[in-house]
Structure formats: C-alpha cells, structure tokens
Amino acid sequence: MTDPVRVAVGTPLPRELRPLITGVDSRIELLVDDELLPQMRYPGDHDGDPAFRRSEKQQAAFDDLLTNAEVFYGIPDTRPAALAPALRANPNLRWVQTMAAGGGAQVKAAGLTEDELARVVFTTSAGVHGGTLAEFAVFGVLAGAKDLPRLQELQRARTWPERWAMKQVSEQTVLIVGLGGIGSETARLLKGLGATVLGVKRTAEPVEHVDEVHTDSALPELIPRADAMVITLPGTDATTGLIDRDLLAAAKPGIVVVNVGRGTVVDEPALVDALRSGRVSSAYLDVFATEPLPADSPLWDMPNVLVSPHTAALSPAEDRRIAELFADNLRRYLDGAPLRNVVDTRDFY
C-alpha cells in the first residue's frame, strides 16, 4: 500500500491528539476541518455542542470531506442516520471506527445492506472504557454491601440509629453477566476484594479471576447464589430483556443489581417491582432502556436506586485512549493485519 490513506474525522477530535494518527505513517492524510465540527463540552463528548448547526455550504463541504476518505474516524456526527448516505456516496470507503464501545448497535441502526456491511469493516472502542466502568461496577457492589441507601436516608432524617452489621464483599458471591473487557476487569477488582466471582458468557471457557464460568443458560441456577449481580452486556437482539421478571424472582432475596452494559438487557418494570418488594435491595444503574431516562420513570424517586446519567464510562483520558486504539488499528490496516474490535455484522456485537 503506497497511495495516501485519507482518514476523515467525523466527530470532534482534540488537536493535540491528531499527531497520534498522522504519526502512524507518512501515507496518512487527515481530512479534518474544525469549522465543520461542533465544539466538545467535556472529555469524551463525541456528539459535541447540540446547538451546533452547519450552513448549507458547510454541510456540502463536510459531505465532500467524507466522500474523499478511505477511513472514517467516528460515525459522522455519531448519528447512525448519517452513516448510510455517507457510505453510499463513497465507494472507496473501507473502514469506520466508532467512538462507542457498543458501536455495533449504531451500525445496525444505520440500516445498511448486506453488500454494504461486507464492503466496509466497522470497529469499536471496546476496551477503552473497561477500567472506568469496572470501577463503577465495584462501587455499586460496595455501596450495596455497605447499605448506602439506608445511610443516605438516615442522614437526611438526621437520625442516629442503633448500630447494625454491614456486609463484607469478601464474604459475598458476585455474578457478572458478560465477561468481555468490562466484565473481566470487574472480576479482577472484585477478586482483589476477596469476593467469589461467578460469570456468564457466550462460551464457557475459563476466565482469569472468575471462579466459575457458565453460559447464559445457567443464569436461573446462578442467580439464587449471588449477593450481587453486575451486568456488562451490550444491547443486541439476543440480550434484550435477558434479565426478566422470572429471573429476578429467582434471585436471592436482597440481591444488589448493577448495570453498566445496556439498559435494554433489563426488563425495567420487572426491576422496579423487584425493588419495591425487596427482592432487589438496591440498584446502581448507569444505563437505561430509554435515554435520557423519562421524567415519569419510577426509578427517579426510588430511595434504593442510584441513577447515573450514562456517564460512568467517561474519563479525562478517553479521547486519548480512543485515538491510541485507532492508531494501533491503523498500523494493522496498513500492514494488512486483522483489526481489533471488529463488529460482528450478524449479531452487531
């Protein structure tokens, strides 16, 4: 490969990180115009300022930039609806890097044909967010063990009760549903606290720091053993509603639920009922079936629920980590080697 490889920047990318991409090889040509992209409001703000609008002339320039690229750094404007027309206008497009770890769902939402999915490789930022999400997961497990909702209620009421015995994570069993990068890192952290870790994944090969690995068909037998359940699964057709009413009814009374995967994995009305009955003692949720969480959702007002606005993945280093991941994949692309984090365009995972 000796011709220039043009990479179009479709989402905001800080100037100081661009040399990570152009420095990969002298053949790399970065197509970026900051006037055509929204300003970032915070680290990891790939959507940018929602008030940003392109003029008709600017939109034509942005479309032209995309048409001349072989690679997209980011789905244009992070909008699945913008991906299909950009891809169809560019017969030379070969690879699209998504900013989201769950970018497969965005690719699916674009409604591409089988031929289009076969022509272009899609990769995600999976792994970039593993550490931050795993810490939030452990925070939820610890908060549940240490009765955070009860402590907050007592503090608000200025009440000093009789002392009570809190639980110890080192004496608990935690079930991790999904043992990809986030789940595996969560397992490592929990083992450091002395927990017994159970896990489920699509195939039941051993995973480091996990005491038992099963497929998801074993969930009904595993959940009665768990003091806490951490969900890290992506949103796919296969995972939608996996944590349903029957499964929650089989849980050990007082189980703690933490979700850092996708909100669609959990039947939210069933979770609300389980929280009200005490079957689930508390829940720490960073993701929801509908986002933003609707104002009329009962989850907002439940004292045993912590609502996090899908922000647990963000860190000041996110943009750099994604750029580094992309740069590594760009080297592979130039060398004709397999790329990391390729989207399975059958299951969009």
Task: Give the catalytic positions in this structure.
Answer: 262, 291, 310
Residue where the block lists tokens 């050990």 = 252
Residue (of 172, 214, 167) closest to 190 by Cα position: 172
Handedness of CA 8, 13, 15, 20 (dihedral sign): negative
Asked if residues 292 and 308 have their Cβ atoms less than 8 Å apart, the reply is: no
State the DSSP code for 266: B
In whole angstroms, give the CA distance from residue 202 to residue 199: 10
The rounded distance, in Å, linking the Cα atoms of 322 and 338 is 18
- As a whole number of angstroms, the distance between CA 103 and CA 242 comes to 20
Which one-letter DSSP state was computed for residue 14? -
CA–CA separation, 341 and 18 (whole Å): 21
Residue 207's alpha-carbon distances to 17, 174, 230, 327, in angstroms, are 34, 15, 16, 28
CA angle centred on 80, ends 79 and 83, rounded to 5°: 100
List C-alpha distances in Å: 330 to 5, 208, 253, 333, 344. Answer: 10, 29, 49, 5, 19
d(CA 175, CA 225): 8
Pairwise CA distance, residues 35 & 293, whole Å: 32
